[in-house]
Amino acid sequence: MPQPLTSGLSPSRRASLSALLLSPWLLPHVGAQALGPVQSGGSHGVQLAMPWPPGRSPQGFLVSEKFDGVRAVWDGQVLRFRSGRMLAAPTWFLSALPRVALDGELWMARGAFDRLSGVVRQTEPDDEAWRAVKYLVFDAPGHHAPFAQRVAFVQSTLAQAQQPWLMPVAQREVSDARALQALLQDTVRQGGEGLMLHRADAMWQSGRSDALFKLKPEPDEEGLVVGYQAGKGRLAGMTGALLVQMPSGQRFALGSGLSDAQRRNPPPVGAWVTYRYRERTPSGMPRFASFLRVREAE
């Protein structure tokens, strides 16, 4: 028999969840003013990708693998998460970075996101564990030049650093939409997450624009947890679905993909979660959305 959602929680947490579960939807009127901005999941002056339009030609873009890592921005002195919070890394790691602004992903290997996240989010860095971490750099935000020239700058700068864990992300040109899909399928077949497409002539700018896109077999997005829906039948006493607010402000029920453990102890209201979906409805809602993970606090 399933355990109640509130079992094993602190008294304050239990009381909060018990109150929220009194109605089918939680906090139906909580919005951005109460829970903070929802525009970019707490990003801090970084460039963000939009979904790649189906069938579009990739000519004029440089294409790279989308690495499932932790975004890390180096300003020449301090390493930060994309939210702007300082990232605790070993002294040897930081001292080897060049004194220019860099943007990239901390990464271990394909399929190793959870292990990586556990290492790089520690407040006191584990020196030995960090030896397995690579910094894959894809941009130089402080270099005032089109993206193609920034790529060349990154390559030459990192070559001078001579650190095997400090690597430029490989970029390539792709001839047409068919070749792009073939590259995507090959990347995913080898365990990759997808592709990134950056307009070669674009200057750097923060936020979302037509300069940077992501292409995955199933698109994903981040949303803000604003409530819960009580479970029924086998899920009675647990969370049936998360009430998620999209960057657009629209809300929907996200139940698919949650484990029983997550249903017993769901992500808290105010948490950011990543979900996959196949396509959108005409009104912009995700079809066949499935929970992927909680975005750890930064």
β-pair type (134-139, 166-168) = parallel
Residue 101 lies in a domain: yes
Give the integer Cα–Cα distance in Å for 87 and 77: 12
- The whole-number pLDDT of residue 293 equals 87
Among 215, 243, 274, identify where a domain stops: 215
* Owning domain of residue 237: 11-30+219-295
Longest dimension (CA), the chain: 62
> Does residue 109 share a domain with residue 79?
yes
- The whole-number pLDDT of residue 295 equals 80
> Does residue 187 share a domain with residue 120?
yes
> Does residue 129 share a domain with residue 106?
yes
Among 183, 215, 247, identify where a domain stops: 215
- Domain count within the chain: 2
Residue 158 lies in a domain: yes
Q: Give 225's contacts (C-beta < 8 A, 6+ positions apart).
A: 242, 243, 244, 245, 266, 267, 268, 269, 270, 271, 272, 273
Among 200, 215, 230, identify where a domain stops: 215
> Does residue 265 share a domain with residue 126?
no
Residue 171 lies in a domain: yes
> Does residue 261 share a domain with residue 232?
yes
Residue 35 lies in a domain: no
> Does residue 189 share a domain with residue 74?
yes
The one-letter code for the residue type at 182 is: A
> Does residue 252 share a domain with residue 106?
no
> Does residue 53 share a domain with residue 134?
yes
Burial 32-46 (b: 16+ CB within 10 A, else e): eeeeeebebbbbeeb
> Does residue 271 share a domain with residue 243?
yes
> Does residue 204 share a domain with residue 73?
yes
CATH number at residue 262: 2.40.50.140
The residues pairing with 275 across neighbouring beta strands, listed in sequence order, are 221, 291
- The whole-number pLDDT of residue 278 equals 82
| pLDDT digits (tens), the chain, 298 positions | 334 444 444 444 444 444 344 334 444 333 333 333 334 444 568 999 998 998 899 999 999 999 989 999 999 999 999 889 999 999 999 999 999 999 999 999 998 998 999 999 999 999 999 999 999 999 999 899 999 999 999 999 999 999 999 999 999 999 999 999 999 999 999 999 899 999 999 999 999 899 999 999 887 888 999 999 999 999 999 999 999 999 889 999 999 999 999 999 999 999 999 998 888 888 989 989 999 888 876 5
CATH number at residue 168: 3.30.470.30
Residue 42 lies in a domain: no
